[in-house]
Amino acid sequence: MRRAGWPLLIGVAVVVVGIAIASLRANPYLYFAGYVILQYIVIATAWNILGGYAGYVNFGTPAFFALGAYTAVFLIRSVKPPLPVLMLAGGLVAGLLGLGIGYLTLRLRGVFFSIATLALSVVLQTVMVNWEYVGGSRGLSVIRPSGPPFGNYVVFLFTIMVALAVFAVLVARFIERSWIGRGLSALRDNEEAAECMGVPTLRLKLFATTVSGFLLGLAGAPFPYYVTFIEPNSAFALDYAVNALAMPMIGGTTSWIGPVIGAVLLGSAQQLATVTISSELSLLIVGVVLVGFVVVAPEGILGLIRRLRGR
């Protein structure tokens, strides 16, 4: 019991530090950039629950993320509930989509699953482009609610993201350490064999896709308030799909800390490159680093560390 309590304590500590940073009133850009990196921690962790633990590569990350964002936009336009309700709704809708994707795995494995998720992203984007109520192809301005609980609104969103990142990492860590994680890695290595040994593969896959979708939707829901303008091309950007798989690949996919390492390194590198050089060049760096890592260090940074220790 005491051992199990540690990660929670550390999580709470991180949130407290986050709030402390938020109350520092440092350069506002730092919060802006910090939000993006924290958002990537959530996205990479969520992707890794399905991609790293279960071995199903999801190229459709933007679909879940944007579904969370657009659920929020729909609610903002219709009833304007407070942010936690928006996030919960975004997470639930994206989680439902994840459940649907999970049933798809019954017939589609490997490459076909990945292409189908990519397909899903394009179909959803087309729907949003044609749906005028949430902005259509021209997009929609979103007005932030006045008077956040503390600080200014960006600082408030930053704090929310700190909590969300801690939550996502704790969920991933719990899954990894429990029988669910062992079952998932069994089906990743050999699905037929796992099924024969009595691992409930379908239920596990449905669990993984739903949780992964839920977390991605949670991460997407505050996005409209963060950018204050929602538009299909930015909400469904391919950057999310690439980053979502590049970050765990670079950090290491077998452990919860891998996506965090990848997201912090790659996320900060991108923010730096965007400011100092250009945003396109920062994306190019992501692509090159991704390809370099899968070719040279397929186990990611964690694998490199393990190899060094082994010697």
Partner 1 sequence: MFSWDLLANAVVAGLLLGGFYAAVSLGIGLVFGLLDIANIAQPAFLVLGAYMSFVLNEVWGIDPIVTGVLLTPVFYLIGAVVYRVYYGSFERRGDEGLRGLVFFFGILFILEVSLSLKFGVDYRLVQAEYIGRSIEIAGVGIAFRYLIPCVMGIAMTATLYLFLSRTFYGRAIMAVSQDQGALRLMGANPVQIKTIAFGIGIAAASLAGALLITITPVVPSTDRDYIGRMFAITVLGGMGSIGGTLAAGVILGVIESLMATFFGPSWAPAVSFGILLLVLAVRPAGLFGR
Closer residue to partner 1, CB minimum distance, 152 or 234: 234
| Interaction pattern, residues 40-79, with partner 1; x per rule: CB under 8 A | -----------x---x-x-x--------------------
Q: In DSSP terms, which residues pair with 140 in a beta bridge?
A: 230
Q: Which of 238, 257, 265, 269 binds partner 1 (CB under 8 A)?
A: 238
Within 10 angstroms of residue 197's Cβ, the number of other Cβ atoms is 12
CB of 300 to partner 1, least distance (A): 11
**φ and ψ at 229, to 5 degrees?**
-150, 120
Distance from the Cα of residue 205 to its chain's centroid = 18
Structure tokens at 278: 């250009």
Give the closest residue to 169 by CA, choosing from 46, 52, 17, 61. 46
For partner 1, the closer of residues 89 and 245 by Cβ is 245
277 is a site residue for partner 1 (CB under 8 A): no
Distance CA 103, CA 290 (A): 29
Q: Does 286 bind partner 1 (CB under 8 A)?
A: yes
Residue whose pair of structure tokens reads 């304590």 in the numeric block: 9
Q: What count of other Cβ atoms lies within 10 Å of the Cβ of residue 145?
A: 12
**Site size with partner 1, rule: CB under 8 A:** 42
Smallest gap, in angstroms, from Cβ of residue 254 to partner 1?
12
Beta bridge partner(s), residue 141: 229
Q: Which listed residue (14, 36, 88, 104) binds partner 1 by CB under 8 A?
A: 104
In what helix (H) or strand (E) does residue 40 lie, and over which residues does it extend? helix 28-48
Q: 153 and 144 in contact (C-beta within 8 Å)?
A: yes
- Minimum distance from residue 269 beta carbon to partner 1 (Å): 15
Q: Does 190 bind partner 1 (CB under 8 A)?
A: no
Give the span between the Cα atoms of 92 and 75, in whole angstroms.
Answer: 13
Residue 123 binds to partner 1 (criterion: CB under 8 A): yes
Judged by beta carbon, residue 48 or residue 159, the one nearer partner 1 is 48
- Give the footprint of partner 1 on this chain (CB under 8 A): 51, 55, 57, 59, 104, 107-108, 110-112, 114-116, 118-120, 122-123, 125-127, 129-130, 137, 238, 241-242, 245-246, 249, 280-281, 283-284, 286-288, 290-291, 294-295, 298
